[in-house]
Structure 1
Amino acid sequence: MTSRKTFVAGFTVFSAAALTAGLCVNAASASPLAFAQMQAQAITQATQVVDSLGQSGGGIYLDNGKAIVNVIDATAQQKAEAAGFATKLVKHSFAALTNAKNSLDAVKNVPQTAWGIDTKNNQVVVKIYDAASKATVDKVTAAAAKLGDSARIEHRAGKLSTYIADGDSINNGQFTCSLGFNVTRGGEPMMLTAGHCTNEGGTWSGGDVSGAQVVESDCPGADSGLLTRPNGTGDGAINTGQEITSAGTPTVGEQIQKQGQTTGGGSGEVTSVDESVNFDVGVLNHEFGTTAHTDHGDSGGPAYDGSKGLGTLSGGDTVTSYFYPLTLELQSYGLELA
């Protein structure tokens, strides 16, 4: 894979007040990199504010690049607005939503379902697919009902599937996936992809890389796979030339880009975070859901926002694509971005 470096000059760092007032970048005319810079700044500043609110904070989400701070009382609302942010008065704190989501994690053996936190709607969103058995539907519906209005159920057509199929990206002779991020461990160059890909074993190749061996493979639970990179010249950049210099936590409403060997490039929006997705291969934890379109063979491919890497693709359906967070992969394996 040949990578080109992209340099962008003239960025302006905007204050929270300017972001809130919409004085920074017009989303319709902003370049992808400028918009990514705006989102990153909004997320950082809003997160600091909501963290200071403690139990009165309901999390944050993005609306066309602008951060909205959820609050559960007037005191918190005044504090957030004094910091320059638009607010939304909600019923449930982020801590309460997290507890609700964690209670659902105790529901086991329910393939073809998923649940995660939707801060925009101040709920845990529970997805049940047509492919789920009646027993699974009944079990998950009953568990969600106990959470009252802190949860909502969405019935989805079709079937959840992890993406691994024929193609021409990285492959082991039987299965094809996509390279997520070039990384290093202890100075050694390696490649990060999906764990349900590396679970297949074998020797992997793609681009100018050959003879790559599986070093780590975790799936289900996580969905991370690490391959050696015995040769190859790829650096820490997407094949479009966009450099990846950091890893970040996804935020509901965040506009993202993705790459995969089957569907190529594209964009989408983060719709949920900390999602537990019950694929047939088992439960994948801490996933984030997006509206990005992906398909078989895209597994392991990257989601990113400007120069910030977000995660590697696990799978999904025709509506939602799920990614495993890059921050967790780097921490788990002791990696650095190349």
Structure 2
Amino acid sequence: MTARKKFAFTAFAAGALACALCTAPAGAAPLSGEAAFALAQNTAIAQADQVVASLGDASGDYYLDNGKAVVNVLDDAGAQKVRAAGLTAKKVRHSSAALTGVKEKLDSVRDVPQTAWGIDTSTNQVVVTVYSAATPATAEKVTTATKQYGDSVRIEHRTGKLELYIADGDAIQNSQGRCSLGFNVKRGSTPYLLTAGHCTNLGGTWSGGDVSGARVVESDCPGADSGLLTRPNGTGPGRINTGQAITSAAAPKVGERISKQGSTTGGGTGQVTSVDQSVNFDVGVLNHEFGTTAHTDHGDSGGPAYDGSKGLGTLSGGSPSVSYFYPLTRELSAYGLTLA
């Protein structure tokens, strides 16, 4: 899990934060249902981040339930602190540190395509997913590796095959494939295009929309799944093609409602189901992915996941039941980028 900065926290601070974020300016138009939900959800995330930081090792992190934060605690003292902050507490057995340790040990299991694992804070477990496309030997190898961890691990079997979604697909394309633009970004004052690394691994020059002759600057896949292209036609807007402005990058949270865009399937919504996943595609393992229920398909690769004005990640691929994205915060940090 991502390390968090430590904050002093009081119930008063939580109430003040909620008030500051939820009160519309005098004379402002009422928020739509979706906008109001997004605002309340982001308020819950900010509050939960603070209270979890104050709990330290006594926390099992948190998740969102219909936009409201549920904080996992290990003892009654922690539960009291969470309730004093106006949030819901849930007693669990495993700390974040313990589950992270289990997940990192599983990361040493190699050569197991068509499997994935990561922490599900809503069940306080590391969830290992084995797809039906995995060979029996792979399924046995992964299952055997989990046996020593008891109820801190749960195995799920899903039908389908994990695929990187590169193929026919507001598109950016070259002679070998077609993908989707994730985010317009900058390094200093120079504009770039951010997309998936398994797309930029194809090399060549890319075009699409108002872009032509874009060249690959960075390409990382497997391990990460990030790719950076030049933007020879000048700076592009810092917004989704729906008009939604993207002004910041944030880490996704289990249960968070998100939106996505892709050149094949267009817009849509979904929910974050897992974070910090190790996903074993046929090309190799992609680390730190987050899983969602959003529907995506071939050609959507590199397209953005976002929550209101927060950018969350770029699409890698998935199966009929899950779509995996690589976190935008990691991409910006790795390449020294800011949003356009």
TM-score, with structure 1 as normaliser = 0.91
Q: CA separation in 2, counterparts of 1:223 and 1:265?
A: 21
Where do 5+ consecutive residues of structure 1 fail to align? Answer: 1-13
Q: CA separation in 2, counterparts of 1:17 and 1:118?
A: 28
Where do 5+ consecutive residues of structure 2 fail to align? Answer: 1-11, 24-30
Deviation per CA, 1:220-264, whole angstroms, max 9, x where unpaired?
A: 000000000000553100000000000000000000000000000
**The residue matched to 1:323 in structure 2 has which SS?**
strand
Q: CA separation in 2, counterparts of 1:267 and 1:16?
A: 28
Q: CA deviation at 1:55?
A: 1.5
Q: CA separation in 1, counterparts of 2:172 and 2:326?
A: 18
**The residue matched to 2:291 in structure 1 has which SS?**
strand
Q: CA deviation at 1:134?
A: 1.4
**The residue matched to 1:53 in structure 2 has which SS?**
helix
Q: Which residue of 2 aligns with 1:281?
A: 283
Within the candidate set 161, 165, 168, 2:167 is matched to 165
Within the candidate set 76, 79, 90, 2:78 is matched to 76
Q: CA separation in 2, counterparts of 1:36 and 1:95?
A: 29
Question: How many residue pairs get matched?
Answer: 321
Q: CA deviation at 1:290?
A: 0.3
Q: CA separation in 2, counterparts of 1:235 and 1:144?
A: 46
Q: Which residue of 2 aligns with 1:11?
A: none
Q: Which residue of 2 aligns with 1:97?
A: 99
CA contact under 8 A between 2:169 and 2:180: conserved in structure 1? no
Residues 18, 61 of structure 1: alpha-carbon distance in 2 compared, 3 angstrom cutoff: farther
Q: CA deviation at 1:146?
A: 1.5
**The residue matched to 1:265 in structure 2 has which SS?**
strand
Q: CA separation in 1, counterparts of 2:53 and 2:170?
A: 44
Q: 1:205-284 residue pairs with structure 2 within 5 A? A: 205-232=207-234, 234-284=236-286
CA RMSD, 1 decimal: 2.0
CA contact under 8 A between 2:198 and 2:226: conserved in structure 1? yes
Q: CA separation in 2, counterparts of 1:15 and 1:317?
A: 42
Q: CA deviation at 1:174?
A: 2.1
What amino acid sits opposite 2:51 in the alignment? V
Q: CA separation in 1, counterparts of 2:145 and 2:123?
A: 20
Q: CA deviation at 1:167?
A: 2.7
Identity of aligned residues (%): 71
CA contact under 8 A between 2:170 and 2:209: conserved in structure 1? no
Q: CA deviation at 1:51?
A: 1.3
Q: CA separation in 2, counterparts of 1:137 and 1:18?
A: 50
CA contact under 8 A between 2:17 and 2:47: conserved in structure 1? no
Q: Which residue of 2 aligns with 1:144?
A: 146
TM-score, with structure 2 as normaliser = 0.91
Q: Which residue of 1 aligns with 2:65?
A: 63
Q: CA separation in 2, counterparts of 1:252 and 1:17?
A: 23
